[in-house]
Amino acid sequence: MLTNLHIYSGLGNVIAIIDAIRSDLSIDSTHVTNICSVQGINFDQLLVVLPPQKADIDLDVKIYNKDGSLALNCINGARCLAKFIKDNDLLVKECFDVQTDGGIWNLEIIDDTTFTASFTFVEKVTKLSYEYDENDINLSCLDLGNPHGVTFESLPQGSNFVELGKDLQNSDNFPEGINFGVAQIISEDEINLRVYERGAGETLACGSGACAAAVLGIIEKNLVSPVKVNFKLGSLLVDYQTEKEQIRAEGKAEFLEIKEIYI
C-alpha cells in the first residue's frame, strides 16, 4: 500500500518518520531496507510511530537504522518526532512520554524549531584500549540504549576515521556494534564531535553520541554541564544532572519533505 514518509533533519541527521497510528501499517526491517535501497530514499534512521501499549505513555516508537537493524535510542530522532507531533497535531500537549525499545523519552516542545529530549542514565563507564593499524585507540564506553565508545584523543596521524569506525563494528569487543565518537574539547563547556554510527556510517550529527560525549566529558574531563556539542550543521546543548540520573538534550529540528512510498 502507498503511504507517506515524513522526512526531517536533526542538525543534518536525516530522520524518516512513518505514522502507523492513523494508518494501519506493519513495518519491519525488510520494509526499511527496501525504502532505502530499492525506492531510493536516503535517511539515517527511520522511526515508526505506534499506539501506546501502556496507559501512562503517549506513544510508542520503533527505531531502525537504514540497514534495517533496530536502534534503541536516537536523540535527533526524538526531537524530530517532537516536531512531527507538533506539525501534525498528533497530541494536544507540549510535553509527552514516548516508549522506545531502549527506554522512555520525555519530550518537550520549546518553540516551532527547538525541542528537548530527556531520558534516564545510570552511570556505568568502561575503559577499553583498541588496537588499530598498530596504534592504540583509548575508548570510554557507556550504554545509552545504544552502545557508545568515545575518545577525547586525536586519532593517530594518517588514520581514516570512517575506516576505523567500520573496523570497530567487526570487533569482538562490540558484538552488537558501537557508535564511535571522536571529541575535541574547546572549553570547559564546549566540544566538537564526529560520530560513526553503527548501522548508518558517519552522520552529520548523532544525538545520543552527543549525550555520550558530554556525559563522559563531565565525568572524566571535568567539563561543566550543560555542554555545547558542535556538529558540522549545528549544536546540541546537553545537560547531565548526576544526582537525578537524567540527561537532557536541547536542539533544533526541521521538516524537509514528504515522500510517497510503497509498503
Question: Which residues are tagged catalytic?
Answer: 74, 206
Rounded to whole angstroms, how far apart are CA atoms 192 and 194?
7
67 near 33, Cβ under 8 Å?
Answer: yes
Rounded to whole angstroms, how far apart are CA atoms 211 and 239?
8
* Helix/strand/coil for 210: helix
Residue 91: name the closest of 52, 128, 125 by CA: 52
* Angle (deg, nearest 10), helices 75-87 and 207-220: 130
Q: What number of CA atoms fall less than 13 Å from residue 83's CA on the CB side?
A: 25
User: C-alpha cell of 219?
Assistant: 565525568
Residue 148 has phi, psi (to 5 degrees) of -130, 140
For strands 45-50 and 59-65, give the pairing: antiparallel
In 153-253, the DSSP E strands lie at 179-187, 190-197, 201-203, 227-231, 234-241, 246-252
